[in-house]
Amino acid sequence: MVHDIDSIRLSGRIVETEAYPVGDAAGHAFRGETRRNRSLFLERGHAYVYFTYGSSFLLNVTSETPGVGAGVLLRAIEPLQGIEAMAGFSATTRLADIGRGPGRLTKALQVDLRQDGLDLCAAGPLWLAAIERKTGAINKSVRIGITRNAHRLLRFYERGNAHVSGPKKLRR
């Protein structure tokens, strides 16, 4: 995930995600389109950003065809470029905490409502890049912080990566 701001490049490797597929009662699109979630209905590869708990912005990548609401929540990144700048935006000092958690991720990358609806697969300030990097084993678990439809194994993370959020049991 890359965000170019003020001639600085902020980027990180996505190491943890959660899926919110079509028909999932835990997904924001479940009850239809509203002003808040309208970006979630954009074609796959667009950003859906929303504000929650009075404190945090959360970033999703849409995953379906236009008019169908579904997406993937980005829960954690391993910082790659602009690390010092991201540390400055972050409330925490430890490297492993800068991108650890969906709210911290957006804070580090300086993502807020201004990026809502952007095409992440096109040229622009916020975009998804392919990188050469060996990937570890990908594990799955239940999703974190939800109550409805909570049993499904729709959280995916790189096993043992220090930048993955959640309790220890959910990082192995």
Interacting residues with DNA (CB under 7 A): 18, 20, 26-29, 31, 34-37, 40, 48, 51-56, 58, 60, 71, 73, 90-92, 97, 101-105, 107, 143-148, 165, 167
Tell me how many helices (H) and strands (E) the chain has. 3, 8
Q: Which is nearer to DNA, 31 or 159 (CB)?
A: 31
Residue 24 Cα distances to 8, 62, 145, 148, 163, angstroms = 38, 14, 15, 9, 27
Burial of 88 (0-12, 13-18, 19+ CB in 10 A): exposed
CB of 71 to DNA, least distance (A): 6
- Please name every residue paired with 8 in a beta bridge, in sequence order, or none if there are none: 5
What minimum distance in Å lies between the beta carbon of 144 and DNA? 5
Compare residues 77 and 80 and give the one whose CB is closer to DNA. 77
- Radius of gyration (C-alpha) of the chain in whole angstroms: 15
Instruction: CB nearer to DNA: give 43 or 97.
Output: 97
Q: In the complex, what is the shortest distance from the CB of residue 32 to DNA, in angstroms, rounded to a whole number? A: 8
Q: Shortest approach of DNA to residue 108 CB, angstroms?
A: 10
